[in-house]
Amino acid sequence: MAGCFSASRFFLNTMRPSKNRVYCLASRKLKLSFETKQKADNFLKFNAPEILSEKGKAPVRSYYCQLCCAWHVTSNSSEKSASSLDSRDEKLLDYFIHESGTAKTEMKRLASQIRERMRAIDVAMEMNDLSLARNLLRLSMNDLNLMKHMNPHSFLILRPQRQLSRRLKEIDMIEGK
Ligand SMILES: [Zn+2]
């Protein structure tokens, strides 16, 4: 399999899958991940109805992800968008092969996204819009969790973690919690 290159093994190993979730660099989110198409299809068969009733949309097909070297499931039924996703993955794959330290690149992207949100949080707090500030904080915490999944020991996590929890305390204090 052309896509199963050593770097992606590296990602799988460093990204600490919890259960069978991995941080997928192609879709940039945590994805269920299966070793074989059959396992992914079995998952669809037995879990889709329940997921549908819980979330209002269910995964409908499985596909092979070249970056994870594994099978994911998706609720997107369109084969056309599937093939455009494939070509996107090819491009990403190329990029990752030729770019060293890609996990680090992605970590930096997330870190800078958190930094931007942090500025927005500060503005929201200045305007005393605490619910907006809390929402932005929650989004940033999600990004931080993704970073922890990718590399729990990275120094890139420390600063945003400190800054986010400081703001969380501030908001709690203002709200008297
Ligand atoms: Zn993937």
CA of 168 to the centre of ligand 1 (A): 32
CA of 28 to the centre of ligand 1 (A): 8
Distance CA 76, CA 86 (A): 13
* 12, pLDDT greater than 60: no
From 146, 139, 142, select the one nearest 106 (Cα to Cα): 146
* 30, pLDDT greater than 70: yes
**25 in the same domain as 51:** yes
Q: Which residue has the higher pLDDT, 88 or 75?
A: 75
Provide the domain limits for residue 70. Answer: 6-99
**108 in the same domain as 35:** no
Structure confidence at residue 101 as a pLDDT band (50, 70, 90): low
CA of 90 to the centre of ligand 1 (A): 12
Classify residue 1: in a domain, yes or no.
no
Cα-based distances in Å from 4 to 29, 65, 94, 118, 166: 20, 10, 12, 37, 42
Among residues 99, 116, 133, the one where a domain terminates is 99
CA of 106 to the centre of ligand 1 (A): 14
**90 in the same domain as 73:** yes
pLDDT at 19: 58
Query: Which residues, by Cβ under 5 Å, contact ligand 1, an ion?
Result: 24, 26, 65, 67-68
Domains in the chain: how many in total?
A: 2
Distance CA 103, CA 86 (A): 20
Among residues 69, 99, 129, the one where a domain terminates is 99
Q: Is 160 exposed, middle or buried (0-12, 13-18, 19+ CB in 10 A)?
A: buried
**119 in the same domain as 93:** no
**163 in the same domain as 143:** yes
Among residues 77, 99, 121, the one where a domain terminates is 99
For the ranges 11-20, 148-157, 162-171, which has the lowest average pLDDT? 11-20
How much is the average pLDDT of 62-76?
84
Report the percent of the chain where pLDDT is more than 70: 75
CA of 156 to the centre of ligand 1 (A): 23
Structure confidence at residue 102 as a pLDDT band (50, 70, 90): low
Q: Which residue has the higher pLDDT, 20 or 73?
A: 73
CA of 46 to the centre of ligand 1 (A): 21
